[in-house]
Structure 1
Amino acid sequence: MRDDGRMDVDVDGSLGRRLTRLVQNHDQDTAPLHQGVHSLRETTPILTCPAKLNIVIHVVGSRGDVQPFVALGCELQQQHGHRVRIATHAVFEDFVRKSGLEFYPIGGDPADLMAYIVKNPGLIPSIASVRAGDIGRKRKMLAKILEGCWSSCYMRDEKTQRPFVADAIIANPPSFGHVHCAQAMGIPVHVMFTMPWTSTRAFAHPLANLKYSSDTSPRIANLMSYGVVEWMTWQGIGDLVNKWRKSLDLEPVPSSEGPLLLETLEVPHTYCWSPALVPRPADWPKHIDVCGFFFRNPPSYKPPPDLSAFLEAGPPPVYIGFGSIVIEDPEALTDTILEAVRMTGLRALVSRGWSKLGQGRDSDDTVFYLSDCPHEWLFDHVAAVVHHGGAGTTACGLSKGVPSFLVPFFGDQPFWGIMVAASGAGPGPIPYQSLTALGLARAITKCLAPETRLAAKEVADKMNTEYGVRAAVQSFHAQLPMDMKCDVLKNEAAAWTLQESSTTIKLSKRAVSVLMRQTMFKPNKLSHYQSKPIIIDPKRWEPVSAVVSASLHTAGAMGRAAAGVVSEPYQVYKSNKAFPTAATAKNNPENLEKAPIDSPPTANSPDHVSIEQHPGLAGATADQDDSKNRTKQVVKASARNAGKLLFSPVKGIILDIPLAAVEGMWNLPRLQGDTGYQHTAVTDWKTGGSVAAKSFIHGIHEGMTDIFIKTYAGKKKEGAKGVAKGLSMGFVNLTMKTGAGTLGLIAYPCQGVYKSIHAAMHTRARKAIEQAKLEEGEWLVENQLDNGVEVEDIVRRFLTVTPGKGKGKA
């Protein structure tokens, strides 16, 4: 790990060389995988959204991370009629609500988070942080953020108490809960971010520092860096995510799928940076887009008199500020800044920021210490900007045509420093740890050079022709499912399905509320509607590794259950002992709030004695109840793990291992370019049986005919040599496909039955969502937010409705 938070990836190591060869086997180094593929936005005519949606936007980070999404939310709400909720840290509530958007707190302290990241910029924390207990606190913070992200999808507004159930999710990757919340609700998710998070050969992951020799293709090294960083990240958060998924009634994400889950599920991504600065890589598939920076409408701002006086007293100053970065020694950095300003002989605006630079010092004719001030206004009045390299500040400076010098601290900031320098709009970045007064003075001087100012103006001219927020909204709309709208109220999102004989009708929350009041159908006919189901299954390469992997997973599950028979009851026992009993609380009144609530003997009990007359007896009785309750919890924890220990091998032998073998056998021919049968997802016992039958038919048919088809195709292409190749491929397909079809008669129905049982036994999350939908529908009707449609008209439309057809993209 490097001091700037990036990770050294040595591609020339023994493991790196093996992985490189593996990737190169599937790579044409001169022809990208998706060469020339345009994004869906670029190939889709401009359109409106199929329905007015409730959109929740999950954002974790600093104000610079939140601000672009506020701009996006305003565009979605004001120009397209969506209802938008920003779910982020509580400290940004006023900022969000004053913009006219709804807000939901997800927990986490961004100042604390920034201080930790500056202290530990890498993926691996320092020993000092481990000793200080920082890791445990940050894991608790992440667990709270995950819970907050889920609650923001369906809980009422904490301030207005207005119900809200999300129809779609937009999120930045550090929120981590996005795709899991979307899976639990069955709604689309769209990731938007200010730094690359999708594998490409064009450039390395911003958090990776590649090391390789001339023998290694730089493009292959770039591609590998994304998987390495994602794998490292998953090692730190995977257990927390899977533990949290249980509360959403979701099964754990397999360790093989967790690191690159967004890519394998083909979750749409929109990157909010200027293509004039970083063009969209040619090897990105069509669901990955680059739209431009997100700029909000400039806020009205009147500068205080002392700031106006300083700006008018001389030539434009240099802006120096590090925003939400929390620095350990702000005094030393302030001294460095002042010395650099003295060397250049220029005037400077120094933003105090979250680190409170210049604390206790007063402004003078040369240096003005600045409080909060919108960059959109300020950067029109400066000669250059010196900052930490946050995407928002970088975008604002470049859009104003002002030369920029970046002092990166961690994360994507070095990436943006390199990109700015490559454009000529500023000198090369200097990491904060290496910053000196002389280096800062030289960088400022370089910013004011005529060629740098000209390059900055050229970048600004290109950026000013882009409309990032508008393009991002179009990208979001272009990748929504078409069948999101209600069959009765066409401009509202479907939330329910109504099954009547052989007809399925999609209904919005408001439509259901009105129709139920008119007793048009029974409530048990309604089902939770999923506009975008997400299914996460392990991807298998071939049968041998698939069976080994499934066997190891089963063995691991048994080992964890066996250990849990002892460890989990002990943890329960320890956690219960941490709470005082009622008797202890009575003797120590300050602990009373921590004591368990106990019920006294009933008045009808033959042994009933007045608690008021004998308070000591109350404490003794409560202690007995505490002991019984603790024992019950301990026994329950042990029994739960014992059940897992018995169930794990049964599930592994009957379901997991046969299913892995089947999927491996189906996939082996695909590795050689075979485009044969691919089954649909198994979601319940019905689809399990259907997939088993189709898999058997296709497996037998393709297995028997491929031996002739492959041989003939080989002869036509390569003659006698091709005959040998085609014959061998045909025999492989015969073995694999017929075996998969036969074994699938057992594996797929078992998978379907298991999923049906799991869905029947885990209903808490779904019931919570359904209840929230009913409450929102009632609220909409009671508050007469009915877009002018009368009750009689809704009933008439319902009686004459033609159900929507099929699924697809808008």
Structure 2
Amino acid sequence: MANTHNANPVDNNWDPPPPYEAISPANLNTADLPSSCVPPYPAAPLPEVLTTNDGRVDVRVGQRFSRNVEWLMRHSSARQPTDERETSRQRLRPTWIIKLNIVIQVVGSRGDVQPFIALGAELQKHGHRVRLATHSTFEHFVANNGLEFYPLGGDPAELMSYMVRNPGLIPSMKSLRAGDIQKKRAIITQILHDCWQSCIEPDPRSGEPFVADAIIANPPSFAHVHCAQALGVPVHLMFTMPWTSTREFPHPLANLRYSGSDPSLGNLVSYHFVKWITWQGLADLINGWRKDVLELDPVPATEGPNLAETLQVPFTYCWSPALVAKPPDWGSHIDVCGFFFREPPAYEPPADLVEFINAGDTPIYIGFGSIVVENPEKMLSTLLQAVEVTGVRAIISRGWSNFEAPGNLNIYSLGNCPHEWLFQHVAAVVHHGGAGTTACGLRYGKPTTIVPFFGDQAFWGSIVASAGVGPSPIPQKSLTAENLVDAIKFCLTPSAATAARDLARKINRESGVRAAVDSFHAHLPRNEMQCDILLDQPAVWRIKRGKTIVRLSKLAACALVSEGRLQRKHLKRLETKPIIIDIRRWDPFTAISSASLSTMSGMADATAGIILDPYREYKRHRSISNPEDTPTTDPQTGNPNHARQMLLLSVISLGKFLGRASRGALLDLPLAATEGMRSLPRLYSDPVRNQNPIVSFETGAAVAWSTFTHGIYEGVTDIFVHTYRSKREQGALGVAKGLTKGLVSLTAKTGSATMGLVAYPSQGAYRGLRSGFKRRVWDRIWESRWVEGETLLGREVCDVERACEVFDEAMCSREV
């Protein structure tokens, strides 16, 4: 952080609060609720979603709406509780020998970047090549810690400044007039582009080729899942605040007021609304980037907000489970591993600081990091009054607000100092509640008072209070000398000190970074990623002869080609973790309606383009030929080349119209009806069988046959199964209910099975055909991987002769 002696906010040791909202507002998927159900209550107005002056979303859910939501949730599938076996999985440290190229994408402040420095160092111990992609501001910070650096757009100082000017999600009129929103959207667009480049570009310093074999990211980087889909590699999210829907506590960015009878459901709803707000502001940027850069289909509006949860992307939360335990409704793909602590930096404190610490009673620490207080003089006066009334000695950090305390024997004005050293020499800490600063204080057993300004800081304040290691958080707008005095007195009580020491002991027994690396390894598809020739290398190619498939790494493929064992043209791209984004369906009626609406919307856009695109071209050509827009006739309007261009644009739009109509009639509508019928049993709590991803005609045909065989069998037998179960549970009344369920199941499952014989192979054929046109991105990935393989072959020791022998044996003996 900046202070009076260091004007550069980069070269410092502060852990500023993570400006999550500065990059994102945040996301909800209303598709989680089965829209075909009609609850037994009258239609209710939607919840009121407002923004507060602390950067959170004020969600007010009325009684009628909450009753409808509760009814719908009771009749939809609930998330399975945590598997007991995952506890033992976390204890075991699986042996991992595959050396990967890992890119870590982090957007935020230094407090966001710092935990991933520790993570990257631990990953390197396993032989991985680690690239940390973040803002250029942190290049030296990353490089000095021995990690490869790749620059992302955006300036954290500007982002923090934006948050100070606009603590809520809705910007002020002053920011709108200044064009802040356009600037922010431009920054996000640049970040998306740079995140993709960080996956495939050579090292900016050395020029060494690099293609990511796996991606680790924090959610505000936004590009993670999409880059992973384009590459076909695993992605793993890690974060310092809750981002996954749960019933245990509300979203940290939501100020929830829920009127329903089930408060836990209100917590769940808060995540959906916050996520929905984010997606509305980012959908066009992300989908435009997917189409133009990654050559991927746009993410459907119903899937975008909850994409990571729908795909069950592995998620690691880097806070102590002793402080916030893993909620029971989080699945086995989510881990809470502990705080990510870096190695304490070397630090030589100034003599006057040491002298002050040793001059009397142990002082307390007060500091707000990178927060720029609106009225620093008033805030400082409040702090000094509280210190005087309590009679404590205090170290007050200048921070970005540049607090300058007058000469006072009981006050020390602190400039640049790492918390790891300082917090070992204070009795208690008062700060803004940034995740990193909170973790550091608790690590050293210091009672904590949190004065939240915006974002997740209030969440950490409430967590600290619930753990008994601090008082209830004091929002900065409500801070007075009187309530700060009470807070400091609470922190100095023996009970608070004891609770803080007990919590510190638990935290220090954990190894958050090591557990996170184990979690990362445990969620990787080891069998798909391992080269069959060089077992410590990741596979990126596959070669198939008959039924035999061999997976090859970059190094192995280059070695075999150099020896003439195979040709480059025989290598096929291997996706170790393919990502398929499908639209979830709940019943055939809403599915067909939604598909029909989407088809008609696409046809309408194409129809408008038949007329509008030639007209826009005419206007563009006229403006070029007659820039002063004089009333004279444009002499070029009769140009045959220009006329042909206008006609071509009209024909292209006509082709889009016919293509969209054909796709809707032959593919989208049959598939929607099939998926709607297949998903219908979920509405009465009947399990629905999962399907394998459909990426080609072959996989589509396999899914069709599997759906047909299981659908026909289950549809017929469900009549007897449901009738028997309901009779056993409810007697004669249950017979009628069970028979009704059985008949619905018979209709839905056999209908889905029959239509799926056509719909699923057609979907596979379409996706296979589409993938054949995505040559620009795939060719670049292919070439980058080949160049990296050649570099490895020229640098690393490889027993080429032995590799050829293993390859020959595999091709002769293996059948997959």
Q: Give the TM-score taking structure 2 as reference length.
A: 0.86
Structure-1 separation of matches of 2:643 and 2:380: 59
Q: Deviations over 1:565-589 (max 9, x none)?
A: 67778889999999x99x99xxxxx
C-alpha RMSD over aligned residues: 3.2
Structure-2 separation of matches of 1:757 and 1:154: 25
Match of 1:56 in 2: 103
Q: Deviations over 1:100-154 (max 9, x none)?
A: 1111112111111122223333333333322322111111111111111111111
Structure-1 separation of matches of 2:467 and 2:668: 52
Cα offset for 1:790? 2.5
- SS at structure 2 position matched to 1:520: coil
1:764 to 2:764 alignment = no
Equivalence map 1:435-474=2 (5 Å): 435-474=479-518
Cα offset for 1:42? 4.0
Cα offset for 1:518? 1.6
Match of 2:182 in 1: 136
Match of 1:233 in 2: 278
Match of 1:801 in 2: 810
Equivalence map 1:89-108=2 (5 Å): 89-108=135-154
Structure-1 separation of matches of 2:353 and 2:212: 44
1:39 to 2:86 alignment = yes
Equivalence map 1:769-808=2 (5 Å): 769-782=781-794, 784-786=795-797, 789-801=798-810
Cα offset for 1:706? 3.2
1:378 to 2:387 alignment = no
Cα offset for 1:72? 0.8
Q: Deviations over 1:498-525 (max 9, x none)?
A: 2233321111111112222222211111
Match of 1:597 in 2: none
Cα offset for 1:261? 1.2
The match for 1:503 among 545, 548, 551 is 548
Match of 1:75 in 2: 122
Match of 1:16 in 2: 66
Residue identity in the other structure for 2:254:
A
Cα offset for 1:181? 1.0
- Residue identity over aligned pairs, in percent, reads 52
- SS at structure 2 position matched to 1:650: helix
Structure-1 separation of matches of 2:494 and 2:678: 63
Residue identity in the other structure for 1:724:
A
Cα 1:370/1:806, change in 2 over 3 Å: farther
Cα offset for 1:674? 3.6
> How many residues are matched?
757
Moved more, 673-682 or 103-112: 673-682
The match for 1:540 among 585, 609, 613 is 585
1:666 to 2:678 alignment = yes
1:731 to 2:743 alignment = yes
- SS at structure 2 position matched to 1:39: helix
Cα 1:96/1:575, change in 2 over 3 Å: farther
- SS at structure 1 position matched to 2:282: helix
The match for 1:750 among 762, 766, 770 is 762
Structure-2 separation of matches of 1:253 and 1:218: 32
Moved more, 67-76 or 457-466: 457-466
- SS at structure 2 position matched to 1:778: helix
Match of 1:620 in 2: none
The match for 2:220 among 158, 165, 174 is 174
Structure-1 separation of matches of 2:812 and 2:511: 37
The match for 1:519 among 564, 569, 584 is 564
Equivalence map 1:340-379=2 (5 Å): 340-353=386-399, 355-358=400-403, 365-379=409-423
Structure-2 separation of matches of 1:476 and 1:509: 22
Residue identity in the other structure for 2:461:
G
For the 8 Å contact 1:184–1:248, the answer to whether it is kept is yes
Structure-1 separation of matches of 2:614 and 2:401: 48
Cα offset for 1:169? 1.1
Cα offset for 1:727? 2.3
1:553 to 2:598 alignment = yes
Cα 1:690/1:26, change in 2 over 3 Å: closer
For the 8 Å contact 2:548–2:814, the answer to whether it is kept is no
1:695 to 2:712 alignment = no
The match for 2:313 among 267, 271, 292 is 267
Structure-1 separation of matches of 2:263 and 2:562: 65
- SS at structure 2 position matched to 1:57: strand
Structure-2 separation of matches of 1:754 and 1:130: 44
- SS at structure 2 position matched to 1:490: coil
Cα offset for 1:308? 3.2
Equivalence map 1:287-326=2 (5 Å): 287-326=333-372
Match of 1:402 in 2: 446
Residue identity in the other structure for 1:369:
S
Match of 2:662 in 1: 650
Cα 1:112/1:633, change in 2 over 3 Å: farther
Match of 1:616 in 2: none
Structure-1 separation of matches of 2:345 and 2:574: 40
Structure-1 separation of matches of 2:52 and 2:640: 53
The match for 1:480 among 509, 515, 524 is 524
Cα 1:73/1:292, change in 2 over 3 Å: same
Cα offset for 1:437? 3.9
For the 8 Å contact 2:90–2:519, the answer to whether it is kept is no
Cα 1:565/1:271, change in 2 over 3 Å: farther
1:740 to 2:760 alignment = no
Equivalence map 1:598-617=2 (5 Å): none
Match of 1:5 in 2: 55
Cα 1:133/1:706, change in 2 over 3 Å: same
The match for 1:194 among 237, 240, 247 is 240
Structure-1 separation of matches of 2:364 and 2:80: 45
Structure-2 separation of matches of 1:68 and 1:17: 42
Structure-1 separation of matches of 2:614 and 2:197: 29
Cα 1:327/1:799, change in 2 over 3 Å: farther
Cα 1:474/1:641, change in 2 over 3 Å: same
Cα 1:121/1:804, change in 2 over 3 Å: farther
- SS at structure 1 position matched to 2:320: coil
The match for 1:489 among 534, 537, 540 is 534
Moved more, 482-491 or 4-13: 4-13
Match of 1:600 in 2: none
Structure-1 separation of matches of 2:457 and 2:673: 45
Q: Deviations over 1:367-403 (max 9, x none)?
A: 4333332211111122222221111110000111112
Cα 1:541/1:7, change in 2 over 3 Å: same
Residue identity in the other structure for 1:494:
A
Residue identity in the other structure for 1:23:
M
Residue identity in the other structure for 2:72:
L
Structure-1 separation of matches of 2:503 and 2:60: 34
Residue identity in the other structure for 2:120:
G
Match of 1:223 in 2: 268
Cα offset for 1:459? 1.4
Structure-2 separation of matches of 1:54 and 1:352: 41
Cα 1:204/1:631, change in 2 over 3 Å: farther
Cα offset for 1:550? 1.0
Moved more, 16-25 or 362-371: 362-371
Equivalence map 1:602-641=2 (5 Å): 641=653
1:88 to 2:134 alignment = yes
For the 8 Å contact 2:202–2:210, the answer to whether it is kept is yes
Match of 2:434 in 1: 390
Cα 1:715/1:119, change in 2 over 3 Å: same
Residue identity in the other structure for 1:124:
I
